[in-house]
Amino acid sequence: MTIDCSSAEFVKTQSECSPESAGTAAARSALAGFAARSDLLCEFLVAPFGRHSAELRLVLDVMRSQPLAGKWIAIMTRPYSEWRAARWSLDVPLRVAETAPARFQSRENVERWIFKQRWQHLVGALPIIEGGNDV
């Protein structure tokens, strides 16, 4: 069985949907139960790379599987010494629409910042960390 992606029905469906509509709604629903899970936030912030718990891997998989349009990404602006966060354009494929003002001295730090942005976008406000400090 082949799917004809050039059919009028397929084109109509693609153009009627915003880049985030269906995917974002499903992601928010899937991640709704994690809103108060400061332990998952801390787990990622302590070690952005490496092995993570099954629950954090689920959160990361959902975050990373979102449509590219409007998604925050890490960009190396100076070889291995400076990174920035940038956001893909909503209307032009694979074009950066904006760059965050902060400059990061490590890839880990830019990944932490991006994780927080994606968390706020898909899960909601960052949970309070034990001791009263937010993330």
Shortest CA distance to 118 belongs to which of 39, 1, 20?
Answer: 20
Burial class (CB in 10 A: 0-12, 13-18, 19+), 40: buried
In contact, 34 and 76? CB cutoff 8 Å: no
pLDDT tens for 73-114 read 999 999 999 999 999 998 887 899 999 999 999 999 999 999
Query: What distance in Å separates the CA atoms of residue 123 and residue 40, rounded to the nearest whole number?
Result: 12
Computed from CA positions of residues 119, 125, 129, 134, in that sequence, does the dihedral angle turn out positive or negative?
positive
Alpha-carbon distance values, 135 to 56, 68, 86, 102, 106 (Å)? 16, 25, 21, 17, 18
CA atoms within 13 A on the CB side of 87: 17
pLDDT tens for 18-44 read 445 567 888 999 999 999 999 999 999
In this prediction, residue 20 carries a pLDDT of 53
